[in-house]
Amino acid sequence: MKPQLILIAGPYRSGTNGNPDRIADNLLRLERAAWAVYQRGHMPMIAEWVSLPLARMAGSVRIGDAVSEAFLYPVAHRMIQQCDSILRIDGESNGADADVNAARELGLPVYYCVDDIPAAVARSCSIE
């Protein structure tokens, strides 16, 4: 299997009541999953890695303001169209559930455990 671009979907703000420390904990969980995906030979992607900087550039001053709300889910849904599959990590999240539904509509595989993702075969390039 060639390396895939895999979206990591899970709670970011869900269950945090807006607490920045709890949001950071959720991001850390997403990033741990991203690391595991990378170790299997794939390229992980977390929507917030893209949507938060875009929202900032558009004028967002805090997570949850009107500008950031205009970016968080739409960026994820554009990103899904570029991905090969999704890894849905544990935790209640309407946004992650919407990501899974969008992926299924596109016919993309949805994984719920990193170990279920086939390892990518590394390609070697030789320069002669």
CATH topology of domain 5-116: Rossmann fold (3.40.50)
Instruction: Assign 126 a pLDDT band (cuts: 50, 70, 90).
Output: low
pTM: 0.89
Distance of CA 13 to the CA centre of its chain: 13
The two three-digit tokens of residue 89, written as one number: 């990590």
HSE value, Cβ hemisphere, 13 Å, CA-based, for 93: 24
Distance of CA 30 to the CA centre of its chain: 7
- State yes or no: pLDDT of 72 exceeds 90: no
Tens digits of per-residue pLDDT, 12-64?
Answer: 999 899 899 999 999 999 999 999 999 999 999 999 999 999 999 999 999 88
The kind and range of the H/E element at 126 are: none
Cβ(29)–Cβ(91) below 8 Å: yes
Tens digits of per-residue pLDDT, 94-123?
Answer: 999 999 999 999 999 999 999 999 999 765
Per-domain boundaries in the chain: 5-116
